[in-house]
Structure formats: C-alpha cells, structure tokens
Amino acid sequence: MLKVENLTKTYRSGQDVLTVLRGVDLSVAGGESVALTGESGSGKSTLLHLIAGLDDADSGEVNIGEVRVSGLSDIGRAKLRRLQLGLVFQQFNLVPSLNVADNLALQARLADRHDAGWQAELVERLGLGETLKRYPEQLSGGQQQRVAIGRALAAKPELLLADEPTGNLDEATADEVLGLTRELVTRSGCGFLMVTHSMRLAGMLDRQVHLHAGRIA
C-alpha cells in the first residue's frame, strides 16, 4: 500500500543546511496500522507531508499503490490526495458552514465515491447519529475528531495518514477514538500511518517504527 525508499530531505536557511531525513525506508500494508514515533524535531511530520505530496523530497521515492508520488505534477498530487489518501490532523479542519452529515460526505463527494451505506456504518460506529444536523461549533473536541476521521474514511482511501490526531483530546477520549479508527481501518482494508509522541497510543497499533536523527531506528 505504501512503500518509502531512501527518502532524504534538507532545508536551507541562508548558509545553514538542516538535514531532516537521511535515507528513510518504510512500508505499510493494506489493513495494517503503523505508529511513527520519535522525539520532537525528528522529522515525523516532514515524512508525512512528503508521503502526502505536500512537499518535495531531495531524493528517494514514495509509492502509494501503483503511483510514484515524486513523479506527479501539482495537479496529480492534488488528485492523489482526493482519490487515494485520507488525511487527519490534530486540528480538525471541519468546514464550519456545513453540518456533520455534510462534513462527513464532503471528501467522498469530491472523489465521486459517496456510498450512503458506508457513511451510515461510519456514523453508527463513530457514535455520531445524534449529531448529524449539528455544526462543528456545537460539538465537543472528541466529536469533532470523530467527524474528521469519518470524513477521511468515507471516501474509502487506500492510505489514511494521521498527524497527532488525538493531541487535543483527553486520555480516555483519545483511546476510544483511536480504537475506533483502528477497527474502521481494518474494516475498510486501507493502510494507516499515524504520527504520535505517545508510546501508549503507539502500542494500540499493529506495529511501531521510531524515527531518530533522520533515520528509522
């Protein structure tokens, strides 16, 4: 589902060069959930952005299914994110003018892949049935994150990428939301790569990989 090979990334500021990634290799299979851990500044979010085509690597390759991300144009990368990826971040990024039902359906409709039966299952599994007519500002943090996860999965992505998705939630809610996410990932068959600083949350997933000094340790 995901294969990263010898990925490198540096940033330049004047005469200074900061090397963030130093030849990263990583793979995630369909239906597998993988936690990416590492200290602050180790390059976890940078790696996620490169996989999603939000930034360019200096060298190496990212392949999602049969698609080589580094070979895509900006339009091709936008299409990749619309059709093959689900993205969930610490900030929920819900559309404030849309109610829960419309937020859930948004990504799937953009991908021309709306499935009313699958969305209904997501609503039930995520416990959102009583909130469908509410707007994001009327929801708790945990409810908003459930909507964000449901929106990402509603489009049936090949790969779900999450950057500290429970960082704004209390411990009990974080455990519950992540547990549901893992179950839904298994149900949908997509791969799941989550950046987290929490070893407790990382331990809830199938496998853990640690990024240290720009390399997978």
The bridge status of strand 85-89 relative to strand 159-163 is parallel
User: How many domains does the chain contain in total?
Assistant: 1
Helix runs in 98-198, H state only: 100-110, 116-125, 141-154, 171-188
Q: What is the pLDDT of residue 101?
A: 97
The 3-state DSSP class for residue 162 equals strand
> Which domain range does residue 103 map to?
2-216
pTM value? Answer: 0.92
Q: What is the pLDDT of residue 169?
A: 84
- For residue 184, what is the domain's CATH number? 3.40.50.300
Q: What is the pLDDT of residue 9?
A: 96
What pLDDT digit, counting tens, does each position of 126-155 carry? 999 999 999 999 999 999 999 999 999 999
CA neighbor of 181 nearest in space, from 197, 158, 204, 207: 204
Structural tokens at position 4? 């990263």
Distances (CA, A) of 117 to 102, 105, 122, 154, 185: 15, 12, 9, 10, 16
Kindly give the parts of the chain with pLDDT less than 50: none
